[in-house]
Amino acid sequence: MIKYFAVENFRSIKEENIVEFDAGLPKDSPYVANSTIGIAGANASGKSSLLQALTFTLWFMQDSFLSQGEDELIPTEAFITCRNLPSKFHLIFSHEILVDDKYKNVDIEYILWVTKEEVIKEELLSYPYSRKRLIYRRDKNNITQGSTVHKLDSEVWSNLRENCSIVSFAAQFSSQNIAKICKGYDLISNLTYRGMVEYEFHPAMLESLIDEHGFSKEQIIKLLKIADLGIDDFEVIEIIEEAQKKIYDFIESIGEEITDTIKANIRKIEDKSIDAIKNLKIKLDDSGRNKRKNQKSVYKSFVFKHKIEEYSEDFGYISESSGTLQFFALLYQVMLTLKQGGLFILDEIEIKLHQNLVAYIIGLFQNKYENPHGAQLIFSFHNTYFMEILEPSQLWFTEKNDRGYTEIFSAADFKDIKKLQQRSLEELYRLGRFGAKPRGI
């Protein structure tokens, strides 16, 4: 779990800002940090900048050696008036590690100073016995290895590039245990340095949860029924090539001149096709003619069963609402994160979803029975309703100051508000006690 993060000189963040993810934990908490952190604030106040900074730090630490080309620039973005200065990141996370033949939560600390051209400074430290233990230290081209780390010789280190992390490089060697642990820390994020990625539902997601990740169909149906999407069951339909060919032949028999009609009325075409392939989409190329596959293959789709009056009706997934499909796509990521005990970073969590569905997802992370492995959800939002299901230490705000850069602070910082724990955070926010609202409205 992430316990601490500091960022300086990144996108809209100029001065150092610190987020303490382990602040305000009750003594009986099953976790070493808050399992949910919500980021609120006006548009363009820096919410995405904070989440992108955290995503970038983890990505660079874990994957930059393999994902960066030799001559590629590092995809970081300094504050506009500080472009000649490095961006600075400071991360502390806890991970279960084998120490003296017992597994225990050990803090791992990662420090990074970086420009677009090179790594200026980098450190990796661990705390297996509460005291600091150096793993790696890097000052430009000077590398120091800790006394307890299996030494790599200078010839090996000569392959470390200026545009990648020492951790992602060292993790390629089986002897570098802490580096491999850092690389294996599970991260799912809908942000990249290019912006936000919208999750889309694919039928393979449900199949993957069952076949690859060990979830039962009953577990998934239980979650769907709780979410009250009207879905009672689902099943896989296998579509063989011979059946697909019937649709291709049907399209060709109509003629190219009504290709636009075919595209606009694909469901009508499906209705005239055999029942087993009613949910298959036909892919047309730019000329309007269908592309045939030469090899034999098996196609799979999903049918969702809805109870309509006293009957059970089958619906293809393309007939479901965009909100339902968005929930499915998020549920897939959520279930993986909960199983792996990883981190899910989600910018604008409420896109296409009813607030109760979002609250349900947040609740999965807050429930120690649904979240036994310490998975963590860090998200931004606009709907003030979600403030009611967060503690003051779990609610953070971003706000642009008069000089045009982001400041980050927590609801728990407002010590002057009496009985803050018992007050409605949503009401306090609406009254302007926390700030972080559009000015002039």
48-103 confidence digits (pLDDT tens): 999 999 999 999 999 999 999 999 999 999 999 999 999 999 999 998 888 888 88
pLDDT for the residue 261? 57
Q: pLDDT-derived band of residue 270, with 50, 70 and 90 as boundaries?
A: very low
Residue 308 has pLDDT above 90, yes or no: no
pTM higher than the cut 0.95: no
Residue ranges and CATH numbers for the domains of the chain are 2-186+341-430 (3.40.50), 231-316 (no CATH)
Q: pLDDT at residue 104 above 70?
A: yes
pLDDT given for residue 258 in this prediction: 54
Confidence band, pLDDT 50/70/90 cuts, at residue 283: very low
Looking at 111-120, 143-152, 294-303, 412-421, which range is the least confident one? 294-303
* Residues linked to residue 378 through DSSP beta bridges, in sequence order: 37, 345
Task: List Cβ<8 Å contacts ≥24 apart for 220-226.
Answer: 220/335, 223/331, 223/335, 226/360
Task: Give the pLDDT score at 352.
Answer: 86
Secondary structure of the chain as H, E, C letters = CEEEEEEECECCECCCEEEECCCCCCCCCCCCCCCEEEEECCCCCCHHHHHHHHHHHHHHHHHHHHHCCCCCCCCCCCCCCCCCCCEEEEEEEEEEEEECCEEEEEEEEEEEEECCCCEEEEEEEEECCCCCEEEEEEECCEEEECCCCCCCCHHHHCCCCCCCCHHHHHCCCCCCHHHHHHHCCCEEECEECCEECCCCCCHHHHHHHHHCCCCCHHHHHHHHHHCCCCEEEEEEEEEEHHHHHHHHHHHHHHCHHHHHHHHHCHHHHHHHCCHHHCCCCCCECCCCCECCCCCCCEEEEEEEEEEECCEEEEEEHHHCCHHHHHHHHHHHHHHHHHHHCCEEEECCCCCCCCHHHHHHHHHHHHCCCCCCCCCEEEEECCCHHHHHHCCHHHEEEEEECCCCCEEEEEHHHCCCCCCHHHCCHHHHHHCCCCCCCCCCC
pLDDT category of residue 275 using cuts at 50, 70 and 90: very low
Residue 280 — pLDDT band, cuts 50, 70, 90? very low
Of 169-173, 299-303, 339-343, which gets the smallest average pLDDT?
Answer: 299-303
pLDDT of 427: 95
pLDDT score, position 178:
95
Is residue 191 pLDDT above 70, yes or no?
yes
Residue 245: predicted pLDDT? 55
Predicted pLDDT of residue 289: 39
Question: 210-257, pLDDT tens digit by residue?
Answer: 888 888 888 888 887 777 777 778 776 665 544 555 565 665 665 555
Of the chain, the percentage scoring pLDDT greater than 90 comes to 60
What are the tens digits of pLDDT across the range 117-136? 999 999 999 999 888 999 99
Instruction: Share the mean pLDDT of the chain.
Output: 85
Q: What is the mean pLDDT of residues 298-302?
A: 60
Indicate whether 285 pLDDT > 50: no
